[in-house]
Amino acid sequence: MIDPFGRSITYLRLSVTDRCDLRCVYCMGEEMEFLPRAELLTIEELERLCLAFIRLGVRKLRLTGGEPLVRRGIMTLIARLGQQVAAGTLDELTLTTNGTRLAEFAGDLKAAGMKRINISLDTLDVDTFRRLTRFGRIDKVLDGIAAAKAAGLKVKINLVALKGVNEHEIDRMVAWCGEQGYDLTLIETMPLGEVEGSRNEHYLPLDEVRQRLSRNWTLEPSAARTGGPATYVRVAETGRMLGFITPLTHNFCEGCNRVRVTCTGRLYLCLGQEDSADLRAPLRQSEAEDGVEAVIREAIGRKPKGHDFIIDREHQRPALARHMNVTGG
């Protein structure tokens, strides 16, 4: 699959559910209404969809959500997709998770052929964690992370940098990840989805964070890429990679190799644009796979060049009303 700008589309991020067992303040409202079950792709439909993308050239697949590990039947899907890795038709199968259920699932993930996973952890402080997630218990997540490590999964921690919330902890997180042997990626808040409170208030440019970190750490430029949008440095003191994802202050669209599919089977060509295609209808219309493949091909043919995120500062509104838990992070 080559898009109109010559970019080869090899990376699919698939949201397997909009549900979650946490309510992170930057991601969801406190009272969320989740989609009726019939709207969601079934586990079988999710598998058929992934196989269609793999036939069309996708080599890397990331499952996300919502919280992928709360989806019933998820381990069945993961085990089946793991067979694609074993067969060499897929280079990588991975997951972004909040970690709450990893203690239970880490071993199975490893057995299914996963090698590395991203775990979201914005703070190491018990109270800040509870406030940020509205009721989450950090001990469950820390146990989950330890279980992932013990199972032999390579761990990368994702931290959303928030002004006045966890900015003073980022140094500590770099040190902790160094001690534990985890890479770390810092994420700028993205204006997606209506949530309570002002987003501008917590917007923290990563340029500023990087500058502050460089007072305490030697940040060596690195050309490493993981097929995602982060740029990386190596922290000389710990030997770990430190990534920065800055959708607002920099444009990372030139090298974009990915598309997203929501848990309802909607294909988004760009996280920052509304253009999409419905893949659920062709999946449900026919058992034959040429219908869905044709829709995917046609949609890739109109993948936009890039996005232009803005936080609407006057109205404090996100540029896109779509929630992150529907599109997947």
User: Binding residues for ligand SAM, how many (CB under 6 A)?
Assistant: 19
Within residues 26-85, the interface with ligand SF4 by CB under 6 A covers: 27-28, 65-67
CB 118 within 8 A of CB 96: yes
Segment interacting with ligand SF4 (CB under 6 A) among 16-24, 194-202, 215-223, 295-303: 16-24
Question: Is residue 18 involved in binding ligand SAM (CB under 6 A)?
Answer: no
CB 52 within 8 A of CB 46: no
Of 65 and 229, nearer to ligand SF4 (C-beta) is 65
Binding mask 80-109 for ligand SAM (x = CB under 6 A): ----------------xxx-----------
d(CA 177, CA 240): 8
CB 272 within 8 A of CB 309: yes
Of 65 and 243, nearer to ligand SF4 (C-beta) is 65
9: its two tokens: 């589309």
Q: Which does 231 bind (CB under 5 to 8 A by kind): ligand SAM, ligand SF4, none?
A: none
Question: Is residue 27 involved in binding ligand SAM (CB under 6 A)?
Answer: yes
Within residues 108-147, the interface with ligand SF4 by CB under 6 A covers: 120
Best CA proximity match to 44, nearest among 280, 228, 249, 325: 280
Residues whose CB falls within 8 Å of the CB of residue 220, separated by 6 or more in sequence, listed in order: 233, 234, 235, 236
Question: Is residue 246 involved in binding ligand SAM (CB under 6 A)?
Answer: no
Residues whose CB falls within 8 Å of the CB of residue 67, separated by 6 or more in sequence, listed in order: 17, 19, 20, 21, 22, 97, 98, 100, 101
Burial 182-197 (b: 16+ CB within 10 A, else e): bbbbbbbbbbbbebee
Query: Footprint of ligand SAM on this chain (CB under 6 A)?
Result: 20, 26-27, 64-65, 67, 96-98, 120, 158, 160, 187, 189-190, 192, 324-325, 329
Query: Footprint of ligand SF4 on this chain (CB under 6 A)?
Result: 20, 22-24, 27-28, 65-67, 98, 120, 325
